[in-house]
Amino acid sequence: MTDLTIFDFDGTLFDTHESISQTIKLTFDALLPTHNPPQSEIHRLIASGTGLTDTFTTLHPTPVEFTPAVENEWIEKYRALYATHGQLLIKAFPGAKDLLTELNALKIPIAIVSNKGVAAVRTALERSGLSGYVPEDLIIGDKTPGAKRKPDPSSFADVLVPTLRQNYGVEVEAGKVLVIGDTVADLQFARNIQSKVCWCRYGYGDREACEALEADYVVDSLRDIAGIIKV
């Protein structure tokens, strides 16, 4: 039986591609209206699970140093636009509620580790009626103290493991953890923490790159994951 499930958010639990793409464009409209970043490049960055700072640096038409002040301006603008526009465009993938319900019934802890901001994840869960299934202290995102962006393993080793121990009395063995995600960043994160990994082929990840990493399990729907959990 799995000791812990760690879900990615974008492209795994929730269909957020349009919301991310549109919000990136709105951010450029607000801060650099002379530049329209190409859709193909936005798609590539979403597929790789790239964080916001690297996304904006890559899409900027000229070499630019994202100082802390500039980085904060772009990220805060993006998040404000996402809260007012992007959230309206997202929805949970089919089977999400049933899967989370079953995990709760089996008393298997659920965590979300995302390169997204925690507030955006919580809002999406609330709007979809799923907030009660995932404990708030097990939602790890960009700027969570002690965590770094995937595939860095610190969100597991330095945040989730001590939180589960201190708040729930649960000791986690990495070999009994299942990471569920759709991009190379998720698969590499699982390898870095030495856990099992399930690749969600229906998501946004680059198919060839993800296939090369040889996930332990591959699914085409969240509905396919329940059987894996019980193995």
Same domain? For 130 and 209 the reply is: yes
For tokens 């009660």, the residue is: 132
What pLDDT score was predicted for residue 136? 96
What percent of the chain is predicted at pLDDT more than 90? 88
225 and 138, same structural domain?
Answer: yes
Over its C-alpha atoms, the chain yields an Rg (Å, rounded) of: 17
Q: Is the pLDDT of residue 222 over 70?
A: yes
Domain finish residue from 50, 67, 89: 89
CATH code, 65: 1.10.150
Same structural domain, 24 and 107: no
Q: Find the domain containing 9 and state its range.
A: 4-15+91-229
Per residue in 36-84, pLDDT (tens digit) is 999 999 999 998 888 898 999 999 998 777 888 999 999 999 999 999 9
Pair (83, 96) in one structural domain: no
Could you tell me how many helices (H) and strands (E) the chain has, helices first?
11, 8
Domain of residue 204, CATH code: 3.40.50.1000
Q: How far is CA 108 from CA 56, 95, 101, 203, in A?
A: 37, 17, 10, 24
| Domain end point (choices 48, 63, 89) | 89
Task: Note whether 62 and 99 are same-domain residues.
Answer: no
Over residues 159-178, the mean pLDDT reads: 96
Boundary residue ending a domain (69, 89, 109): 89
User: pTM, whole model, 2 decimals?
Assistant: 0.92
Do residues 66 and 111 share a domain? no
Whole-angstrom distance, CA of residue 106 vs CA of residue 89 = 32
Residue 231: its pLDDT value, please?
A: 63
- The pLDDT value recorded for residue 63 is 78
**The tokens of 74 are what?**
């772009």
Q: What residue type is assigned to position 225 of the chain?
A: I
Residue type present at position 138: L
Residues 85 and 97 in one domain: no
| 101 and 185 inside one domain | yes
Number of separate domains in the chain: 2
Q: Work out the mean pLDDT of the chain and round it to a whole number.
A: 94
pLDDT digits (tens, 9 = 90+) for 75-127: 999 999 999 999 999 999 999 999 999 999 999 999 999 989 899 999 999 99
Residues 130 and 150 in one domain: yes
**Residue range 122-147: mean pLDDT, rounded:** 95
| Co-location of 102 and 66 in the same domain | no
Does residue 102 share a domain with residue 74?
A: no
Is residue 204 domain-shared with residue 142, that is, in the same domain? yes
